[in-house]
Structures are given as C-alpha cells and as structure tokens.
Amino acid sequence: NWTPANFVTETVEQLKKTIGDRKVIMAISGGVDSTVAATLISRAIGKNLFGIFVDNGVLRKDEYQQVLEVYKQLDLNVKGVDAKDRFYSKLAGQTDPEVKRKAIGNTFIEVFDDESKLLEGIEMLGQGTIYPDVIESVSVHGPSVTIKSHHNVGGLPDSMKLELVEPLRFLFKDEVRKVGLELGIPYDLLYRHPFPGPGLAIRILGEVNAEKVNMLQQADAIYTQALKDWKLYDSVWQAGTILLPVKSVGVMGDERTYEFTVALRAVTSVDGMTADWAHLPYDFLAHVSNEIINNVKGINRVVYDISSKPPATIEWE
Ligand code: XMP
C-alpha cells in the first residue's frame, strides 16, 4: 500500500541504482515539486546533485534568502545565483505580457546554461515533473516533450542532451506534499499558494523595473501576512497584488499625492481552470488597504478585484 514513508524508501533506493555515481544538475524554484524532487534525489546521491536556484528579480519579498535557508537546512547542494540585473535589463522597455514571459523564460535558460558550463561531468537532469504535467505534455505536444513552457522553471535548451531524472512522475500534487512532509520540508513551503513562474513580472502591468518590483513586493508581503494573521490564507486558493500602471490623486497630511494603485486579488478554486473571487471580509480588506497605503511609498490607492474566471483570468496578464 502507498504511504509517503514507503514511497521515500523505495524511491531513494531506486534512484541510487539508476543514477549510480553520475552527477545530476537541476533547476530548483522554491516551489513544491522541484523542492520535493531535489530532496529525494539528494537523499539518494548527496553532493552529486547540483541544484541551481536563480533569483530572477521577480520573486516575492525575501523569498530568495528564505528559500536558500530552507535548502541549507535540508542539506541540499544548491547554488544561489543572483541574476536580478540580467532579468531586469531583458525586461526593460517590454510591456507585452507574452514578450515579458518569453524574456524571463529565455533569460532563465541562459543563466542555467551558463551555470551548467561551470560544472564538469554532468550526465543527468533532475526535474520535478508530476503526473498531471506528464498527461498535459503528452496530450499537447506528443510524448517526447516533458517540459511545459507554462511551467515554473521554464524550458531547458534542447542542446542539453541529458538523461532525465523525474522521481515524482507518477504522483499527484497532494501526494507530493505528503512526501515533502515525510522528508522534513517545512509545511509553509509545501502549502503555499501557487505562484507563476514569471512571478511579479506579470503582476506589474506594463514595464517592469526594480523600483516597481520593490513596491509590489512590499504590498504583496503585507497582504500575505494579513491573510495568515486573519486565518484566511488556507481558505483562498491563490492571492496576490497587482501593480496598475495608473496614477491617481490622493492626500497625505496636507500634501496632495499622485501615486500608483494596487489591486488585491484572491480567488477560490479547485485547479485554477475556473475560479471565483473570494468574498473576503470588509474589515479585512480595510485593514490591508490601510497597511499598504500607510507603509508602501508610492501607493495611495487600493482596489479589490471582484471578477471570476471565466471570463476574467486569475492573473491580470
Ligand atoms: P490564469 O491567469 O491563466 O492563471 O487564470 C491560472 C494559474 O496559472 C498561473 N499562471 C502561470 N504559471 N507561468 C506559470 O508558471 C505563467 O506564465 C503563468 N500564467 C499564469 C496563475 O498564477 C494561476 O495559478
């Protein structure tokens, strides 16, 4: 019978056999799937796993440091690569959502490729592919394609002819989380809301720059913390803040302000395919609005998105 403990024991044994003394490279995103997959591989081969975690400049506030700290506690051999500036320069001047997505995906591949060239004798590529990804990529692209462009770590270059290691290939998300708990991965990481691969870049409408990212990271952190404090976090499927490319007039003390607007988004959903806007309490929304406007410089107005999917989408880009 399937239990997380049995799965861990059997998978680690099997990984030891199939990998042997070969070296495995793997992009790890801080998300559930790649973290659980990497931890399993690490249990099997230790320092022969070479994890790469990239700061693409559009992560959540303090996420880069926090995720690296978790990886350290899990004893994973992971290298953090701060590539913020490289991503920002590729994003400069770009306002089209799909162009922004591609800029991020391509830059990610470049960074990963550069890192892989620094390593010698790599023969295998680890991936956090889970069962729904397998079904989806088979139906959309035919069985040979295993990496979704929609996926968190982006695609990897075809030139990297590496054998794949995918220990979660037959698991569903809830099973992956249970395996993660069994491996000692923190609950908070395993039960976080989904977060898009292009990160805050698709929640900053229009052009992305470091200053806007900084503003949105602060607003997002306030919103997320408040959802947790008010015990609402687990009742919504996903939540986030969106920085609108709109300035409006406000007043602060005796001063007139002319600053940006942030939209709050929260949805209930089962799988993200359809979603309802979450009916969050007015008192809670009032609290978050005050916190954001009083603490985030550059924002003087907060609105709440009451659109469901369809016809709207969860993200605004
Ligand atoms: P939408 O906006 O299409 O989002 O209703 C559905 C779910 O997909 C996530 N999403 C993405 N995830 N790369 C990702 O890895 C992307 O480009 C992307 N776009 C949307 C979104 O956060 C939601 O969970």
Q: Are residues 63 and 136 in the same domain?
A: yes
25 and 92 fall within a common domain: yes
Which of 29, 133, 150 to probe ligand 1 with, by most ligand atoms within 8 A of CB?
Answer: 150
- Tell me, what's the pLDDT at 138? 57
* Co-location of 181 and 243 in the same domain: no
Q: What is the pLDDT of residue 280?
A: 98
Taking CA atoms, 64 is separated from 53, 81, 165, in Å, by 8, 9, 25
Instruction: Give the span between the Cα atoms of 75 and 185, in whole angstroms.
Output: 11
Going by pLDDT thresholds of 50, 70 and 90, the confidence category of residue 157 is: low
Q: Which atom of ligand 1 is the closest one to the Cα of 150?
A: 13
Statement to judge: residues 263 and 128 lie in one domain: no
Asked if omega into 186 is within 30° of 0 (cis), the reply is no
Residue at which a domain ends, from 133, 155, 190 = 190
Is position 24 within any domain? Answer: yes
In the predicted model, is pLDDT for residue 137 greater than 50? Answer: yes
- What percent of the chain shows pLDDT beyond 70? 92
**116 belongs to a structural domain:** yes
Task: Indicate the residue among 190, 220, 236 that finishes a domain.
Answer: 190
Confidence (pLDDT) at 154: 43
Task: Count up the domains in the chain and report the number.
Answer: 2
Q: Map tokens 């998105």 to a residue.
A: 305
Q: Is residue 228 assigned to a domain?
A: yes
Interacting residues of 164 by C-beta distance below 8 A, sequence separation 6+ = 124, 125, 126, 127, 129, 146
> Any binding-site annotation on 149?
no
Q: Answer yes or no: do 136 and 256 share one domain.
A: no
Pair 195, 31: CB distance under 8 Å: yes
Ligand 1 proximity of 194 Cβ (cutoff 6 Å): yes
User: In this prediction, what percent of the chain has a pLDDT beyond 90?
Assistant: 89
Q: Does the complex come out with an ipTM higher than 0.85?
A: yes
Calculate how far, in angstroms, residue 2's C-alpha sits from the geometric centre of ligand 1: 31
31 is in an annotated binding site: yes
Same domain, 155 and 41: yes
Q: Which residue's CA is the closest to the ligand 1 atom numbered 7?
A: 272
Q: What is the pLDDT of residue 147?
A: 37
Q: How far is the CA of 103 from the centre of ligand 1 (A)?
A: 16
Whole-number Å distance between alpha carbons of 290 and 286: 6
Residues 138, 214 share a domain = no
Instruction: Note whether 35 and 108 are same-domain residues.
Output: yes
Q: Which CATH number characterizes residue 66's domain?
A: 3.40.50.620
User: Residue 237: inside a domain, yes or no?
Assistant: yes
Residue 310 is assigned to a structural domain of this protein: no
> CB under 8 Å to 87, separation ≥6 — which residues?
56, 57, 58, 103, 104, 107
The sheet with strand 122-126 has its strands ordered as 78-82, 49-55, 23-27, 122-126, 163-165
In a domain, 122, yes or no: yes
pTM: 0.91
**Do the domain assignments include residue 247?**
yes
95 and 185 within one domain: yes
Per-residue pLDDT, averaged over 146-159, amounts to 44
Residues 184 and 217 in one domain: no
> For residue range 285-296, what is the model confidence (pLDDT) as tens digits?
999 999 999 999
What is the domain-level CATH number for residue 275? 3.30.300.10
- Pair 22, 101 in one domain: yes
Q: What single-letter amino acid sits at 213? A: V
Residue 197 lies in a domain: no
Give pLDDT tens digits for 36-58.
999 999 999 999 999 999 999 99
Distance 315 CA to ligand 1 centre (A): 6
Is 289 annotated in some ligand binding site? no
Identify whether residues 251 and 175 lie together within a single domain.
Answer: no
Structure confidence at residue 164 (pLDDT): 95
Question: Mean pLDDT in the chain?
Answer: 93
Residue nearest to atom 11 of ligand 1 (CA): 196
Q: Can you give the residue range of the structural domain that contains 275? A: 209-304
In three-state form (DSSP H/G/I as H, E/B as E, the rest C), the secondary structure along the chain is: CCCHHHHHHHHHHHHHHHHCCCEEEEECCCCHHHHHHHHHHHHHHHHHEEEEEEECCCCCCCHHHHHHHHHHHCCCCEEEEECHHHHHHHHCCCCCHHHHHHHHHHHHHHHHHHHHHCCCCEEEEECCCCHHHHHHHHHHHCCCCCCCCCCCCCCCCCCCCCEEECCCCCCCHHHHHHHHHHCCCCHHHHCCCCCCCCHHHHHECCCCCHHHHHHHHHHHHHHHHHHHHCCCHHHCCEEEEEEEEEEEEEEECCEEEEEEEEEEEEEECCCCCCEEECCCCHHHHHHHHHHHHHHCCCEEEEEECCCCECCCCCCCC
